Structure 1
Amino acid sequence: MRPIPQFASILVAAVVGGLVAVACVRNDESLSDPLVAPARAAPVAMGSPLPAVVEGQPLPSLAPMLERVTPAVVNIYTRQRVRVRNPLADDPFLRMLGLRALPQERVAQSLGSGVIVDAQQGYVLTNHHVVEGAEEVSVTLADGRTLEAEFIGSDPDTDVAVIRIPADHLDAVPLVDSNSLRVGDFVVAVGNPFGLGQTVTSGIVSALGRSGIRGLGYQNFIQTDASINPGNSGGALVNLRGELIGVNTAIFNPGGSREGNIGIGFAIPSALAAEVMNQLIETGTVQRGTLGIQTHDVTPEMAEALDLDDRRGAIVAAVREGSPAAESGLRSGDVIVSANGQRVDGMAALHNIEGLLPVGKPVVLEVVRDGETVTLSPILQPRLTELDGARLDPRLSGARFVELDERYRQQGLAGVRVGAIEPGSRAARSGLRVDDLVVRFNRRDVTDLDGLRRALDTQPPQMVLGLVRGGRAGELAMR
């Protein structure tokens, strides 16, 4: 479980729980007195199984459905070697002798859950944070077998990962479209809390389409009144038919994991997980789309100037030439209030929707323009994910710039990350380093790769990058 630092922690490692309460009431029984004892059932001897029928009424049970689901839910164990600082590294006696303390390593182990979704190919869905950085991944099945897993791919921005195990006598949970879910539907979760082994919990769908939670990347979560425990990340969230409708990923707890469950858990909808999984299996990466616009939140002053009835939406500040937005007729000053039927409260909400919708398909935008509502349907085009510095400017030769992970953007960060530096290159000689965050170019804000590329359309005589390095801000002149 990984706490994310904020006033209300989002604790990554989740499963859904609660209690499904089913009341069976006979029509001929009086309900007027709340203290009336229920009709007595036939006595059951200690140690004997519960009866299947009481007074002719079958007892409700999830057992038949779980007998089909639990064989497909697996426990995942990972191992990773981590370098640690040797306490003798600064020993003055060793330095005097011209010796250095050897670096030390420790083996970090973690656990999580996963669900088999393709028994023929052996594909297992889990969370990115369960397998992130792992050198070895092993899977233990419900029947006790332990298998080495092959890493297929993962997407940190949606926290979805795919691994594969040998396809030999496997069971799978069928994937269904989570878009048919309704608030109040009963759900059941299966996972591996605290490494205890397979555990079943249940609850209801508390909310749908949850977003705006800091530190969790692109968001469209199923919220549930879950019984939350560490180690259940990547486990299955199923409906009462035993169909996969979500992958458990996170919990919300202001007091941290030690405070226990407070009944707020999140799962990745199966529709989103399936889309990401298919891309990871086919290409190993996930392609995201863009409308090609810059937006701002609607301030009270803007709302008054534009005569808006509702002070919400994303106001279009700029439209890139040749972009999907430009081709659809979107203009500066338009206010986007919904996208594909989803409410847009501000620029963050629109950015989140952009990142979740499939590339190459139209997005139905509801736009307020001059007091009238206009509907436009731009087709999302692929978003830039990396840029070679040499193609931007010779002074950046040897550097490769990559988009900042969405989970960091959700924490309020913006900019472009330096993903790689070629030793001895021009960028390296100027002092640029891997993991530097470029936030300004010649004192103009840089929020993403497209913004950096636009800023370098005309190569300026001087180039000063505003950087964040190791938590400190500074400037670096590129020569």
Structure 2
Amino acid sequence: MKQFDIRIALLLLATLSAGGFIYPKYASTAAYSQLSQESDEAFEQLQTARNLSDAFKHVAKALRPSVVSISTESKPQNVSVRGFKVPAIPFGISPFFGDDIFRDFQSFEIPRTIPGKQGLGSGIIVESSGHILTNHHVIKGAEKISVTLSDDRSYDAKVIGSDPETDLAVLKIDASGLQAVKWADSDAAEVGEWVVAVGSPFGLNQTVTSGIISALGRDDMGITNYENFIQTDAAINPGNSGGPLVNLKGELLGINTAIASRNGAFNGIGFAIPSSMANQVMTSIMDSGKVSRGYLGVMIQDLNDDLAASFNFEGDGVLIGDVAPDGPADKGGLLAGDIVTRLNGEPAMNSNGLRNRVASIDPESTVDLEIVRNGKVLNLQVQLGVRDQAQLASWQSSGADSGSKVGLSVEVPTPELRDRLDITVSGGVVVTRVDSDSMSARAGIQQGDLILSINGNAIESMSDFSTAINESDVSEGIRLRIHRNGATQFVFMKSS
């Protein structure tokens, strides 16, 4: 029996020993089979990536005939520099011995020609008859505008109309049978959606880049007066301005307009005017050569928690800070301190959104406003007027002006304020607020600074300030002369 047990033990030992050598072989084979199966599944999944790649290729081909390159030339400027012819001074006599020696100075003009500027941009064909949509800043000040199609045909273009307040312009070339872009509904766009930008960065025509929608509804950027930008990480560089931002259906979602950058190059943040705004502006320009906007006649501001609590108000709304005398709001019964909660049934979430929506409504239209006054909900009907910049500046001259375009607010300093700030120079408007991360803040503008001039134009009133800011092109930059701490200096600020 004992011998039998020994035989059983030896048999088990032999089996285990054999298994020790055989098991790894079978294990390796099983693992390889698993890897092979995963590889086959991965190749099947790669079809999804190939489909996405094909979508980008199809978009590029579909957009190619509709995207144009725009080059501009501005007119050379003839200027004169004043010079002086100095009279002969006897040897050994210094002019410092008397000012009368300068009586014989003869002034003369030195003619000088400043060469015209050349610019590059992009555009998108919106009608087969030759209408093209681009940025206002692309063609601003141009004496000659040339449009080059994807097949290298070149045409002279004329400006049908432009709108600096949204930075859009419509051009026309003498051509027909062109491929017009298809429009997307930018209001239905979503963050994370794939997008494609096409244009001529640095003069490189038909450059295609891709990315996603990073954010929607970007405002208070200090780029234009009316802002509702689509933010994207698709590469946008100088020369892309005016070109299209499209979805993977090849439909126009926006017009590429600006980038946020510390060095002028692309840093992953670009902005496009949404197609809903662009289409409305374009249609108005093509119909009448200009853009007419609805005008409510109120100064509005956002509500913070403390301000809302002071009105015993909870929820979303926009506060009316002032009402223009005899304006549409005044005639419709609105008062300073009213809180607008709805416009035509849609919530009023913030001042910029409300302002854009009012401007998008045809003048003379009647709008329904839901407001909260002293804790009570009221419904009013107001007939909009036509937004007139001169009239608006005239009204604003009596109170604080919000330079939302550049991110600051100003007012005419009272004698008491001049004393408190130790302002010894005359004229100017004093900065009462600077928005954080605005172009004004980046340029170093501070609360209490006295703005004496803008781009060489003296600022004596609120009207002067409003006019100068509205006529300025933030993409080219604004030069301010300011007074601070008893000293006067220049500051230059420019949108990123």
TM class by smaller structure:
0.5 to 0.7
Structure 1 residue 406, shift from structure 2 partner: 9.8
| Cross-structure match for 2:131 | 123
Residue pair 1:218, 1:406 contacting (<8 A) in 2 also: no
Partner residue of 1:262 out of 244, 258, 267: 267
- Determine the C-alpha separation between the residues in 2 that align with 1:202 and 1:362: 42
> Cα distance 1:365–1:82, how it changes in 2: closer, same or farther (>3 A)?
farther
How many corresponding residue pairs?
372
CA drift of 1:78 comes to 0.2
Deviation at 1:351, TM superposition (A): 3.7
| Alignment check: 8 A CA contact 1:217 1:407 kept | no
Give 1:144 deviation, angstroms: 0.6
Q: Secondary structure at the match of 2:64?
A: helix
Superposed displacement of residue 472, structure 1: 6.0
**Closer/same/farther in 2, CA of residues 93 and 329 from structure 1, 3 Å limit:** same
How far off is 1:359 after superposition?
Answer: 2.7
1:471 partner letter: R
Distance apart, 1:323 and its partner CA: 4.0
**Structure 2 letter corresponding to 1:106:** P
SS in 1 for 2:115: strand
Task: Return the structure number with greater relative CO, CA threshold 8 A, min gap 6.
Answer: 1
> Can you list the C-alpha shifts for 1:397-432, whole angstroms capped at 9, x where unaligned?
xxxx9xxx998744436699xxxxxxxxxxxxxxxx
- 2:335 maps to 331
Matching residue of 1:278: 283
Quickly say closer, same or farther: Cα 1:143–1:350, change in 2 above 3 A: same
Q: Does 1:66 align with 2:70?
A: no
Q: Distance in 1 between matches of 2:153 and 2:321?
A: 57
**Cα distance, 1:379 vs. partner?**
3.6
From 218, 235, 243, the equivalent of 2:226 is 218
Q: Structure 1 CA distance, aligned partners of 2:223 and 2:230?
A: 17
2:447 equivalent to 1:439 = no
Higher alpha-carbon Rg: 2
Instruction: Find the counterpart in structure 2 of residue 107 from structure 1.
Output: 116
Aligned partner letter, 1:119: S
Q: Deviation per CA, 1:288-347, whole angstroms, max 9, x where unpaired? A: 22212244554666433321235x74333444565433454433321124546354445x
1:377/1:179 Cα in 2 relative to 1: closer, same or farther (>3 Å)? farther
Preserved contact between residue 41 and residue 55 of structure 1 (Cα < 8 Å)? no
- The match for 1:305 among 293, 310, 333 is 310
Aligned to 1:6: none
3-state SS in 1 of match to 2:138: helix
Query: Which is worse superposed, 218-227 or 172-181?
Result: 172-181
TM-score (norm 2): 0.64
3-state secondary structure, aligned to 1:103: strand
* Aligned counterpart, 2:363: 359
Q: C-alpha separation between the residues in 1 aligned to 2:466 and 2:119?
A: 34
Is residue 415–residue 446 contact of structure 1 (8 Å, CA) maintained in 2? no
Shift of 1:105: 2.2
C-alpha change, 1:292 and 1:225, in structure 2 (3 Å) is same
Higher helix share: 2
Paired residue type of 1:332: A
Residue identity matched to 2:263: G
* Secondary structure of residue in 2 paired with 1:101: strand
**Equivalent position amino acid for 1:283 in 2:** S
| Mapped partners of 1:78, 1:289: distance in 2 | 33
Amino-acid identity (%): 38
1:316 aligned residue: 320
**What corresponds to 1:236 in structure 2?**
244
Q: 1:132 to 1:298 in 2, by over 3 A?
A: same
State the distance in 1 between where 2:247 and 2:342 align: 29
SS at match of 1:280: helix
Give the letter aligned to residue 71 of structure 1.
P
Q: Cα distance 1:180–1:140, how it changes in 2: closer, same or farther (>3 A)?
A: same
Q: Distance in 2 between matches of 1:447 and 1:85?
A: 28
Asked if 1 retains the 8 angstrom alpha-carbon contact of 2:121 and 2:242, the reply is yes
- Deviation of 1:92 after TM superposition, in Å, equals 4.9
Instruction: Tell me how far apart the structure 2 counterparts of residues 292 and 233 of structure 1 sit (CA, whole Å).
Output: 33
Letter in 1 for 2:121: G
Given the alignment, which residue of 295, 298, 301 partners 1:293? 298
| CA shift in 2, pair 1:166/1:215, >3 Å | same
Partner in structure 2 of residue 420 of structure 1: none
Query: Structure 1: which 5+ residue stretches go unaligned?
Result: 1-29, 43-52, 393-400, 417-433, 449-468, 474-479
Secondary structure of 2:75's counterpart equals: strand
Question: Which sections of structure 2, spanning at least 5 residues, go unmatched?
Answer: 1-31, 88-103, 413-455, 468-478, 484-496
